[in-house]
A and B are shown apart, each in its own frame.
Chain A
Amino acid sequence: MMENGADKFTTHRKTGATVALWDVSFKVREGEIFVIIGLSGSGKSTIIRCFNKLVKPTSGHPICDGRKIDEMESRELIEFRRNTISMVFQHFGLFTHRSVIDNVTYGLEIRGMPKAEREERAMGLIRMVGLEGWERKSISNLSGGMKQRVGIARALANDPKVLLMDEPFSALDPLVRRDMQFELLSIQRKLGKTILFITHDINEAFKLGDTIAIMRDGKILQIDTPEGISTNPVDEYTRQFVEGADKAKVFSARNVMHAPACLIREWEDPTNAIREMRKGEFSSAYVVDGMMRLKGVLSIDGALKARGGRLPISDYIDRNPVTTREDVLLSDIMPLAAESRYPIAVIDEAGTLKGIVSKAAVIASLI
């Protein structure tokens, strides 16, 4: 049916069969990180499982060193899995009834390596992933990032040629994810493994990949280097995918600003201003005129001094607050936000206050 040009959804409706992959073909060079990227349901996890025959393709052959993986007999397949290829899972797939070191040694244990030898090798890997001192702990004591370190050490224990990584960092929070990406790169440079890496995060793909394949609905749309993909996307879908690469370059102030919580008219007296700020527990307030034009920022210190000296607040207004426009990109706002003492005011051409952008809002929008 697919051969006659039907798409995956029509095929599913008419036959009940789900086409996970169709006409997928690619080569992975030895020692490279090959990243497959696509949204969920695009078939990435199915592809990677064809390489250790957790999934058997209905037609076509995944080939490693000239051997057709899908045609391996059970004994040969077990040897292949034990020696040549190993896998890291999205939700870690750790054996919760075993300690850290017993997880790492699992692959060696089942191929009959003596205990002392396998534990010695495992300790080296546990040190490499930075878990020294945790080897006798049970899995539930570990954080998400540490769990995936165990997953990686376990996968490296049988010294495979190829490492399959199925969205290994997707379940981790952003900061940990960044550390893990960095560490994966350094491990790869040190050991020179061939890595097949699945992700749905284009930034991760660009950071790690020597080659990137973009998938959609069971087909590969484009295979290229990161540079090639970002400069020459083959179609609208890949272009959009790549555009999402850095949100700071897509989002502008308009997307993250909110209404100023504390507003003061320039003619109000200091006592009023202080009461306003105390009410909302703000340390500063935006001062506007009758036309909502921004006049400046009044800090609580300024207001207190004004009241003490019985002066109007206008004498204590910071008249040069950091401002920006609605259509300025977040990547340009970030350095301003880092410098500014107050949230950044967003104004239009006439100087009218449209909203404010807090540091927290900028950071939150990027993760």
Chain B
Amino acid sequence: MNEFINEYIRRFPSAWQLDAGDVIDNAVKAFSRDHQTGLRMIKGTVISSVSGIRWLLETIPWAVLILAVWALAWRQTKKWYVGAFYAAMMTFVGCCGFWKEMLETLSVVIAAVILCTALGFPLGVLLAMSDKANRVLRPILDTMQTMPSWVYLVPAVILFGVGTTPALLATTIYAIVPMVRLTSHGLLYVDAEMVEAARAFGSTRFQTLVKIQIPQAIPTIMTGVNQTIMMAMSMVVTCALIGAKGLGMEILVATNRVDMGKSLFPGVCIVIVAIILDRLTQAAVKRSEVIADG
């Protein structure tokens, strides 16, 4: 009797506890075995496109890159000293000795953002247009957003080994959600009378979408891109754990050696890059608002 109480009342019955970890583990491993050619192709594409971007960034002389940031910030904020400030911050990254690492990090971020936009925008449109898609995709998006990002890392490693490819995959999964959500949000919250007007003049659904809803939603969609960039930035750093090179790796190495001084500088550099990316895209959001509101 005592044993029964112990086993079934005081604790959660151990006989009911699942042990699915192995099952999933094996399934993922089996998948990776069975689809080796496909996975290898994906890996090849990812690696070549990321190194393509990195090659591009590295080919541009550092001074040109800094001047470009200056010019862009100047044009968007209409203040030359804002641009100068950003340029100074970028120069600081170079002085810390992390220019190459910054470009490595940036190339993964850029690749991830391109991928997120290319996949996230159509998904967002689908979500806004179809109730059914909305019902199916929403819980998936919730899961992607709330699941701790580490969880993606392990299957990504099993499928693609360590390095850039799993890092890009995990970053995309993590950072695509705001793109999808904000695209669909932007499309659904276009002024109701405007959409009614478009319909009343005989627009097809496609015409309403392309000529009215998307142009009106651009500021929200741009906010989505901005959020995606920021999330990609933070995830790429985490991805150092699975071998992504760049600023994150520097921090990881310094942390493992309990070297506070060495981990602080790449940390600051990450903040600098993030701030510059954020401000430049924020300014783009502002400008698109002006266009959408006439």
Chain A interface (Cβ within 8 Å of chain B)? 52, 54, 78-83, 86-87, 89-99, 106-107, 109-111, 138-141, 154, 158, 164
Contacts and interface: CB of A to CB of B under 8 A. Distances in A.
B292 A79 contact: no
Contact of A81 (B194, B199, B212, B292): B199
Contact of B202 (A82, A99, A140, A141): A82
Nearest to B292: A97
Contacts of B207: 110
A81 B202 contact: yes
A107 B201 contact: yes
Contacts of A98: 294
Contact of B197 (A87, A109, A138): A87
B291 interface: yes
Interface string B169-202: 0000000000000000000000101101111111
Given A96-B292, A140-B294, A106 B194 contact: no
Nearest to A83: B202
A252 B211 CA distance: 54
A106 B199 CA distance: 11
B223 interface: no
Given A54-B196, A110-B207, A96 B202 contact: no
Contact of B200 (A54, A92, A94, A140): A54
Contacts of A80: 202
Contacts of B216: 95-97
16 contacts: A54-B199, A78-B203, A79-B202, A81-B199, A81-B200, A87-B201, A89-B193, A93-B196, A95-B197, A95-B212, A97-B291, A98-B294, A107-B202, A110-B201, A110-B202, A164-B200
Interface in B258-294: 291-294
A96 B291 CA distance: 8
A52 B193 contact: no
A365 B294 CA distance: 36
Contacts of B211: 95, 106, 109-110
B94 interface: no
Contacts of B191: 93
Interface size for chain B: under 10, 10 to 19, 20 to 34, or 35 or more residues?
Answer: 20 to 34
Interface of B: 191, 193-194, 196-204, 207, 211-212, 215-216, 291-294
A97 B202 CA distance: 19
Nearest to B214: A97
A79 B201 CA distance: 9
B201 A96 contact: no
B75 to A, nearest CB: 21
B294 to A, nearest CB: 4
B203 A95 contact: no
A218 to B, nearest CB: 21
B294 A78 contact: no
B201 A86 contact: yes
Contacts of B292: 96-97
B202 A93 contact: no
Contacts of A107: 201-202
Nearest to A138: B294
Contacts of A93: 191, 193-194, 196-197
B196 A97 contact: no
Given A110-B211, A138-B294, A140-B294, A94 B194 contact: yes
Given A52-B200, A86-B201, A111-B202, A96 B293 contact: yes
Contacts of A154: 201
Contacts of B294: 96-99, 138-141
* 5 tightest A-B CB contacts, nearest first: A82-B202, A81-B202, A93-B197, A138-B294, A93-B193
Interface hub of A95, A96, A139 (most chain B Cβ within 10 A): A95
A140 B289 CA distance: 12
A78 B204 contact: yes
Nearest to A157: B201
A253 B150 CA distance: 78
A92 B201 CA distance: 14
A87 B204 contact: no
A106 B201 CA distance: 8
A106 B202 CA distance: 10
Contacts of B203: 78, 110
B193 A140 contact: no
Given A81-B202, A98-B294, 9 more contacts: A81-B199, A81-B200, A82-B201, A89-B197, A94-B194, A95-B197, A97-B293, A109-B211, A110-B201
Contact of B293 (A90, A140, A164): A140
B215 A78 contact: no
Nearest to B204: A78
Nearest to B195: A93
Contacts of B197: 87, 89, 93-95
Contacts of B200: 52, 54, 81, 86-87, 164
B194 A95 contact: yes
A92 B194 CA distance: 8
A49 to B, nearest CB: 8
A158 B199 CA distance: 14
Contacts of A54: 196, 199-200
A107 B196 CA distance: 13
A111 B271 CA distance: 51
Nearest to A109: B211
A97 B215 contact: yes
Contacts of B201: 81-82, 86-87, 106-107, 110, 154, 158
Contacts of A109: 211
A141 B294 CA distance: 8
A118 to B, nearest CB: 13
Nearest to B205: A74
Given A97-B292, A110-B211, A139-B294, A91 B193 contact: yes
